Structure 1
Amino acid sequence: MNKFQLQISVEHPVLFLSDMTAEENVPADTGAAVVTASDDCVCFWVQPYFEGEAKVTVSDQPCENGVACFTGTIRSPGKIVSISDSNGFSYLNVPVKEAETQVSIWVSEIENPEWTWVKIAIAAY
């Protein structure tokens, strides 16, 4: 099992999962839901900095609790996906197995998620 855990304070309470080696298309309305996606970018809302640090887990295993709120696929031609913020800063780069990556996301709650769990197929290097 591979698992990465982040506890970060972000200026804007939104993070992105994408392959930053390719030009990403951010979802048009990132505020439409707690998770929105395009064909190569998933946007998800996190806890704002004034309420504490955002907690994000990236794993190759499913979450055992929480609210399932997204399942889909993003293009990942460089076979590296990143968790980044609205300023383009990358907090985590993870190698993935395929040029298309299956993504599943769970949150603690839909309205004000205290934590987010992201499941992807992590490559062993």
Structure 2
Amino acid sequence: MLLKKRVKPVNSLIFISDVDGGEAPDPVKGPLILATQSCISVGTFPEIEGATEIVMGPVDEAGPDGPPDFSGLLETPTRHLVVTTVDGRVILKASVQAALTSVQIWLSHPKWPERIIIGWGEQ
């Protein structure tokens, strides 16, 4: 089942992590997607310009054609994956199957994505 929400996140940034949080990546100028073993940060469409649609679901349902902009493994010890804002507000939440989850991300635009698709699966 796909989860969807349109948001204007503070600082035009979202985080993907286990529900208990994780260690956010250090900010680096340039790349929209940064990751640690426990947290992925993704830049969104500029907050003042409009909303970003966040889509999340199993990779076989969520993933569009074409290679993802990011593919990696994320620690999910509680088996709950969340998308949050800088101020900790939960945007989307889903149950996953394992303590280590494969995550793939597709951006609708390399610099100003109006749509971000997050797909997960078992490693």
TM-score of the two chains, using structure 1 as the length reference: 0.87
Contact 2:80 2:95 in 1 (8 A): yes
AA in 1 matched with 2:26 = A
Give the unaligned 5+ runs of structure 1. none
CA–CA separation in structure 1 for the residues paired with 2:117 and 2:36:
19
- Greater shift after overlay, 102-111 or 65-74? 65-74
Residues 95, 30 of structure 1: CA spacing in aligned structure 2 closer, same or farther, 3 A cutoff?
A: farther
Give the total of aligned pairs. Answer: 120
Q: Does 2:77 match 1:77?
A: yes
Aligned to 1:102: 102
AA in 2 matched with 1:34 = L
Q: Does 2:36 match 1:15?
A: no
CA–CA separation in structure 1 for the residues paired with 2:34 and 2:119:
16
What value does the CA root-mean-square deviation take over the aligned residues?
Answer: 1.8
Residues 99, 54 of structure 1: CA spacing in aligned structure 2 closer, same or farther, 3 A cutoff?
A: same
Contact 1:67 1:107 in 2 (8 A): no
**Aligned partner of residue 56 in structure 1, secondary structure:** strand
CA–CA separation in structure 2 for the residues paired with 1:66 and 1:56:
18
1:68 shift after superposition: 2.3
- Of all paired residues, the percent bearing the same amino acid is 20
1:90 shift after superposition: 1.0
Give the unaligned 5+ runs of structure 2. none
CA deviations on 1:54-112 (whole Å, 9 max, x unpaired) are 11100212432577210000100000011000111111111100000100000011111
Residues 15-34 of structure 1 correspond to what in structure 2 (within 5 A)? 15-21=14-20, 23-34=21-32
